[in-house]
Amino acid sequence: MRRAIPDLVADREDVYSSQQCLAIPETKQALPWTTTPELFEGLPYSDCLRILSTGRRKEIPSSNVIFRAGDPNMIFLMIEGRAKVTQVTSDGGEVVLWLNTPGQIVGSLNLASRTHCTTAKALQMCKVVMWGLWTFEDNVDRFPGLFRNVMRIGARQMNDLSRRICEVSTEKATPRLARGLVRLCDQIGRPVNGHFEIDLTQEALAQMTAMNPYSVNRQLSEWERQDLVIRHRSIIVIRDLQSLKRLCGAVA
């Protein structure tokens, strides 16, 4: 297993100190990532410390906005918690583009934009490391491995967004909802007694699949009768993941 990035934030300071970072032994308690964040994939341990030393740690209470569309662009790396990233549609609606979990960049990693084009909101208490755009660009120039990872993450995000747009434009509601649940199982699904639990409201699920809440509720009710899912207040239990994959064409 790859070594996680250590927690190097001083108790009384919000800003990382370069001298403190490099002096902390590797036995210091690590951040709660099971694997190295994609942003630091393949980087030497010392480079990770130096990049972290230029960032700032911040805690965002649940339901608070992390950034809004139009705010100056900053780079946020999730340490703990979960956030949703949304964008306003042409008809004034709101669609959820991503759910961000620990180890992920919050929102779009777009260094060409001076402002955010999306809005991110904490779904639970979040801890992030944040960099101003100029500071982060300096790091990208200094560390070739970081530049490589930024390019890869940006390309993947563009591919994901293009695929989402294609799904919304071409797929019918039932396979689109099934695909959304399958994707969420991979992202935030929690195995429990042979099933998967997804902590998400039906309203958020509707936003993620560009459907209205009534249609989502009706389809989930039908799947509940077929014993594919079970609904609780803000949890959806996936009882038959393979059947959902067949509905969206993910398996033969």
What is the average pLDDT score of the chain?
81
Number of H helices, E strands in the chain: 8, 11
Give the count of beta carbons closer than 10 Å to the beta carbon of residue 141: 10
Q: Is the pLDDT of residue 5 over 80?
A: no
pLDDT digits (tens, 9 = 90+) for 162-200: 887 777 777 888 888 998 898 888 878 888 888 898 888
Burial 14-37 (b: 16+ CB within 10 A, else e): eebeeeebeeeeeeeeebebeebb
Domain stop point among 168, 190, 216: 168
Same domain flag for 132 and 189: no
DSSP state of 4: P
pLDDT digits (tens, 9 = 90+) for 91-115: 666 778 878 888 889 988 888 888 9
**Total count of domains within the chain:** 2
Same domain flag for 92 and 205: no
Q: How far is it, in rounded angstroms, from Cα 241 to Cα 249?
A: 12
Identify the CATH number of the domain in which residue 185 sits.
2.60.120.10
Q: Is the pLDDT of residue 139 over 80?
A: yes
Burial 210-241 (b: 16+ CB within 10 A, else e): bbeeeebbebbeebeeeebbeeeeeebbbbeb
5 lies in some domain = no
Same domain flag for 145 and 161: yes
pLDDT at res. 188:
80
pLDDT at res. 212:
85
Q: Is the pLDDT of residue 155 over 80?
A: yes
Same domain flag for 99 and 153: yes
